[in-house]
Amino acid sequence: MLEFVLGVVFAWAAFLFAEKHFVPEISKPVLKPFKTNQSHTYELVKFSYVVPLPSPLKTQATEFHDKNSVRILVVEDKAYWIKNQRLYVADYIDLEIQESSTKVVDTMAMDDVELKKIIFVIDKLNEGKNHDSGNPGDKGI
């Protein structure tokens, strides 16, 4: 048992001697004070560029879907849609369009307030569509 203790003590002393004389000291990093002002924080979090939104995928399937579907806009208790180059309106009750109340919108008999509302509806229904072929025979949606 004494040989074991002497061996451990000798090995430990040799290790300390080798560490002190043969292993180079590693310099500790110098810590700099951290900046915490508003402009520095802004520089850390700002984006250096603006990521453009991806354009919608244009395939035969999406063109077919756009051609055969109808956009509907609900304003208050009325539902509006465009079909065969005409604007239709129907009552919208309990999350359902009442088909019996469907009629074509007559813009000639409208006052200025109603006309501005209809222009807003038409703009929203046609938003995002690039269907301006310039062909008078093209029916569109």
* pLDDT value at residue 70: 83
Q: Which residues of 113-123 are buried (b: 16+ CB within 10 A; e: fewer)?
A: eeeeebeebbe
Average pLDDT over every residue of 107-127: 84
* pLDDT value at residue 28: 63
Average pLDDT score over the chain: 78
Q: What are 51-64's pLDDT values in tens digits?
A: 677 777 888 988 88
* pLDDT value at residue 141: 46
- pLDDT grade for 136, boundaries at 50, 70 and 90: low
- Using CA atoms, how far residue 15 sits from 5, 57, 113, in Å, is 15, 69, 93
Average pLDDT over every residue of 34-53: 70
Residue 127 DSSP SS3: coil
